[in-house]
Amino acid sequence: MKVAVFSTKPYDRDHLEQANQGRHEFVYHEVALKPNSALLAQDCQAVCCFVNDQLDAPVLEQLAKQGVKLIALRCAGFNQVDLDRARALGLTLARVPEYSPHAIAEHTLGLILMLNRQLHRAYHRVRENDYSLNGLLGFDLAGKTLAVIGTGKIGRIFADIMLGIGCRVVAYDPYPNQTLVDRGVEYLSLEQIWPQADIISLHCPLTPDNHHMINKQALAQMKTGVMLINTGRGGLIDTRAVVVGLKSQKIGYLGLDVYEEEGDLFFEDHSNQLLQDDVFARLITFPNVVITGHQAFFTREALSAIAETTLANITHFEQGEMDRVCSID
Ligand code: NAI
């Protein structure tokens, strides 16, 4: 099958080639899928996309018109896809539901430790021959209340890690997990969680219902000095409200791996350009904010698993084994 692969980096190509072994014809494009790049999928029966490729109605319509039948996402989340339009056009949507939930859960812990123990500042101090500790005071994680919002594959592993550290773990998920309850996790409503949690970490998908779930009203109910961590999706947080919360010191620490306007920023080197996003520019001025550029998934194990599942999805689709395609339904 001929597949146009968008938003490709050298590491994607390496892992896809290794999994493919010449079976399918992959046409690699560095550019993201957008209205002006959809033509690159001419003559292809499938497109292979990543988190910030544009899969809205106009792009889907153009792809369908060109003969594309399969959209194989190299990610778990699919908030970037207009699902209704894709279904109406008869497009099959495949994704990688699980690659390495450990990768994201472990990165989340990394953000928490970095913020709490000010590792980003300590690293620079020592390199400047400055060994003073002023301003680096942290707190014990053990005994603190940590909230996991979304206890699916990633949230479950993260909850386990934090139980191991000795946190009191509370959680919110419309579908509570009994194994976590048995291990001591308490499921609460969001209204109960906000005033209790010292650390809040988001691990749910972005849906129309939970867009900006962290907003002015939610922040008002939280503890002063709360630590917020988002490795889920940028749109879960109203970034402007969070900037206000950081300025007033309501928010004590902010760790982000995702950002609601990340599409034009992340995964690229913009170091020779001026930053045009004023909200993001303000965010990175705070010493108690650590941002990584959607790298939580980025481990060797995850890249191999993404490539293998993507290949399997394409091959099963080609062979008409639809029950073996990890489709979005
Ligand atoms: P999953 O589908 O296994 O679990 C998601 C959980 O969230 C489910 O238990 C679901 O019931 C729950 N949920 C749904 N709506 C909710 C809401 N409004 N509030 C609380 N919980 C809700 O998904 P998985 O694999 O754990 O991934 C979670 C999210 O993490 C993905 O949707 C994606 O957005 C993000 N992600 C981020 C990555 C990164 O590199 N930063 C990489 C992979 C995923």
How far, in Å, is the centroid of ligand 1 from the Cα of 76?
Answer: 9
Tens digit of pLDDT for each residue in 261-273? 998 899 999 999 9
Say yes or no: do domains 2-99+300-324 and 101-291 share a fold. yes
Element (H, E) at 73: strand 70-73
Give me 44's structure tokens.
Answer: 């292809």
Q: Which residues are catalytic?
A: 233, 262, 294
Confidence bin at 132 (pLDDT 50/70/90): very high
Inter-residue contact 71 to 91 (CB < 8 Å): yes
How far, in Å, is the centroid of ligand 1 from the Cα of 183?
Answer: 20
Pocket test for ligand 1, best of 7, 81, 173 (most atoms within 8 A of CB): 173
Nearest protein Cα to ligand 1, atom 1: 152
Tens digit of pLDDT for each residue in 53-77? 999 999 999 999 999 999 999 999 8
CATH number of the structural domain 101-291:
3.40.50.720
How far, in Å, is the centroid of ligand 1 from the Cα of 20?
Answer: 28
DSSP assignment, residue 99? S
DSSP assignment, residue 118? T
Q: How many helices (H) and strands (E) does the chain have?
A: 12, 12
Domain 2-99+300-324 maps to which CATH number in 3.30.465.10, 3.20.20.70, 3.40.50.720, 3.40.630.30? 3.40.50.720
pLDDT score, position 35: 96
Q: For residue 329, is pLDDT > 80? A: no
* Domain range list for the chain: 2-99+300-324, 101-291
